[in-house]
Structure 1
Amino acid sequence: MITIIGGTYNERCFHPHFLEKYGSGLRGCHAIRNLDADINITFHTYIPDFEKSNLEVLGNYLKMSLITHKSEQIIGFYYDHPMRKPIISPRPDLIVKAEDFSVEAEHIIYYGMMEGNARVKGKKVVYDPQSPVRPMPFSETKSEAEELAMVINRQEAFLIVGTYDEEVIKKHFFEEEKVSVLVLKMGPKGAKVFTADGHETIIPVYKTQSVWPIGSGDVFVAMFGYHWMSAGLSPHEAAEKASFMTALYCNSHNFRFKPAKVAESIQPLKIKDFPKGKVYLAGPFFDLSEKWLINELYYGLKGLGLNVFSPMHDVGEGTVQDGVAQKDIDGLEECKIVFAVVDGLDSGTLFEIGYAKKMNIPVIAYVESEPPAALVMLAGTMCLIESDMTTALYKCLWLLAEKENE
């Protein structure tokens, strides 16, 4: 039996279109139920009265025991695209805080919630604070665990400890928070698992054909908790399983964890450090929509830990007399990979792609609306063509990391 505590929230993505009711807690319930049809699941969540009946129907569908705690509003997470930080509605400082509640169970997966907190007591507890602004340490929830596994990303660890230094982070969580297991999520680099006996494991990221990152952290926590608590695996084995199953989720955007042929195309990649080589961001920036897209891609690449040379950001607009063409070429010659926006078939972008291929620089071509006939030269020169922006960005990182690890 597993008790899951976590939020139930509306989620919407503008592009690609996505509109569902999930939140970390409910997504964790979906993930575990689709993995194991027989395990008993008890789900604690906040929900306003006007949403309670809808959630009860879903609880019956998932064959789980549902225990609701009253809140005043339903919270929404709204994304322009999956690489963007969501807009939270109501604004976090305007969310009406609900009354805290207590839960005692043997096995607990506890996701931090926006509306309030739970005080838990369990034999094995997996805790994910779930906050990019003010993650709450487990000790502050006044909870107890015989064995505590803390799953946290680097930014959350920094906000709690005040440093990115791995040794200081480990010391804090093992000595101050009394964790038995620390899982430090490293984003596109995968994760590291530390145990109280000093054992350390690097958990690889998995390359997939497609990347849907919204909710991937929720799935990882659920899969880790299931395999550590119910399947009896070691923390290191549980994290390996969780990473692979999260890759299946990201690749398919569903909870089918019993893969067939698709598993053959999902390969592990251990990234020791973020690539040092620069990415050349090619694409037109003549009007508002083009500039907006280049700006989103620029910060998307930087958010993945990559160094970026962008003509729009680093050179700017100008004329032949201003020498912008030569400045762009000089920047291109210093880069190890090109990420190119091909929609519109801009002449400057196509020139930069050709120049890069002549220099044996790999090219990721992001294109959504051009027909195959317009892409023959790109496909014929082994450019990697992707129609999904998030997938293209991640594949840029993976390709560059592989080249630097050769």
Structure 2
Amino acid sequence: MITITGGTYREQCLHPDFDMQFGSGLRACRAIRALDESAGIQFHTFCSVANELFLSMFEDTYKIKTHKYPATDSIGFYYDYPLRTPIIYPRPDLIAKEKEIQFEADHILCFGMLEGNARVKGKKVVYDPQSPVSPKSFKETNSQAEELAIVINYKEAQKIAKSESVEEIRRYFFEVENVAVLVIKMGPKGAMVYTANDKTVIPVYRTGSVWPIGSGDVFAAIFAYHWMEGNRSPVEAAKKASFSTAIYCNSRSFRFEYAGYQEDIKPIEIPDFPIGQIYLAGPFFTFAQRWLINEVLNNLNHLGMKVFSPLHEVGLGEPGSDVAKKDLAGLDSCKIVFAVLDGLDSGTLVEIGYALKMGIPVIAYVENESKEDLTMLIGTNCIIEKDLTTALYKCLWLLAEKENA
């Protein structure tokens, strides 16, 4: 029996289109049920009046005993696209704080929630704070665990430990939080599993497409299932969690055993963020074009890559000026070109042609152009992607592979 506590929230994404009722707790229930149809699962969550019918239907459909705790607000996460920071409604500072959830069980997976605290007591507990802005430590929840595993992303770990040093973070969690296992999710670099005496790198997987919304929930759920219910070692549990998460990201599906969703999943090791520079090609003559270029630049930087952006490094310039020479000089110092191709801007096509002549790989993000208009790019082995998030991740993976070849 595994007992899960976490949020039930609406999640919407503008592009790619997505509108579902999930949240960390509900998604974890779905993931574990998909992995094991016979697993005993109990779910504790805050429940607004608007969610009561949905949660009752969820309980009947998936045969998961659901404990509903009264909540004032129905909470939603709204994404423009998966890598964009979501808008939370109501605003987090306006969400009514509810009486805390309390229970005791042998095996517990506990997520942080916006409506209030969960105070739990268990033999084996996996805790994921689920808040990049103001994460709460396990001790702050006043919970207890005979054996505690914390699954946390690197930024959350930095905030809780008040340090950017991985060693100081590790020391904090083992000495102050008294963890038996610490799993730090490092984003595109995979994860690190720490026990009292060892550390192990868990590889990330390259996938055909990338859907990151909820990927952390799936990782924590699969890790908890294998570590608590399957009695696997923390490293084995984390490896299985990483692979299952890759399947989820590749398919938006919980069909972890379906071979068709595993065909284009390959492990990739990124020991350090690549140091090579990306050339960001694309038109920037209108507000919409500049907004998109700025979004791509911010995301490439967030993924740990250095970027030469003609818009930001050189500026608009005038016809007949030396802008073109400065742009191409910047391209000479880059390892990959990331091109925004919708509109088939002539300057962008010149930059792509120059890069191909120099042997520089090109990743092109394009939604609205026909295959016929892209014949030359396809024929010269440019990577063409219609999904922005997937294109950005493939840029990182390609750069990492080039530097670690």
> Same fold per TM (> 0.5)?
yes
Alignment correspondent of 2:86: 86
Using the alignment, how far apart are the partners of 1:357 and 1:107 within structure 2? 55
Amino acid at match of 1:300: N
The answer on whether the counterparts of 2:5 and 2:25 sit within 8 Å (CA) in structure 1 is yes
Shift of 1:291: 1.0
1:57-105 superposed Cα distances (whole Å, 9 cap, x missing partner): 1111111000011110111100010010101111111111000121100
Q: Distance in 1 between matches of 2:200 and 2:273?
A: 18
The CA deviation at 1:321 is 4.0
- 1:49 Cα deviation from its structure 2 partner: 2.3
Partner residue in 2 for 1:252: 251
Q: Is the 8 A contact 2:2 2:40 kept in 1?
A: yes
Partner of 1:404: 403
The residue that corresponds to 1:360 in the other structure is 359
Q: How does 1:295-306 map to 2 (within 5 A)?
A: 295-306=294-305
1:285 aligns with: 284
Aligned AA (2:124): K
The separation in 1 between residues aligned to 2:50 and 2:357, in whole angstroms, is 62
Shift in Å, 1:264: 3.4
Deviations 1:220-247 (A, max 9, x none): 0000000101111100000000000000
Task: Please report the RMSD computed on the Cα atoms of aligned residues, expressed in angstroms.
Answer: 0.8
Q: Deviations over 1:30-69 (max 9, x none)?
A: 1111111110110000011232122111111111000011
Corresponding position of 1:331: 330
3-state SS of paired residue (1:10): strand
TM-score normalised by structure 2 residue count: 0.99
1:208 aligns with 2:207: yes
Q: 1:341 corresponds to which residue?
A: 340
Tell me the alpha carbon deviations over residues 125-169 of structure 1, each in whole angstroms, 9 at most, x when there is no partner: 000000011100000101000110001111001111122211100
Question: What amino acid does structure 1 have at the position aligned with 2:148?
Answer: L
Q: Hey, what does 2:239 align to over in structure 1?
A: 240
Report how far residue 262 of structure 1 moved: 3.6
Residues 357-376 of structure 1: per-residue CA shift (max 9 Å, x gap): 01100100111111111111
- Percent of residue pairs bearing the same amino acid type: 60
Q: Which residue of 2 aligns with 1:117?
A: 117
Shift of 1:261: 4.0
2-structure distance, mates of 1:264, 1:30: 23
Distance in 2, Cα, partners of 1:388 & 1:140: 40
Q: Compute the displacement of 1:178 (Å).
A: 0.1
Distance in 2 (alpha carbons) for counterparts of 1:302 and 1:4 = 35
**What's the TM-score once normalised by structure 1's chain length?**
0.99
- State how far apart, in whole Å, the 2-side matches of 1:55 and 1:185 are: 30
Provide the C-alpha distance between the structure 2 equivalents of 1:294 and 1:71, rounded to a whole number of angstroms. 41
Amino acid at match of 1:123: K
Secondary structure of the residue that 1:124 maps to in structure 2? strand
Distance 2:383 2:294 in 1: 21
Q: How many residues in Structure 1 have an aligned counterpart in Structure 2?
A: 405
Q: Does 1:22 align with 2:53?
A: no
| 1:320 shift after superposition | 3.3
**Residue of structure 2 equivalent to 1:317:** 316
> Which deviations, in whole Å up to 9, do the C-alpha atoms of 1:235-267 show, x marking residues without a partner?
000000000000000000111100314423211
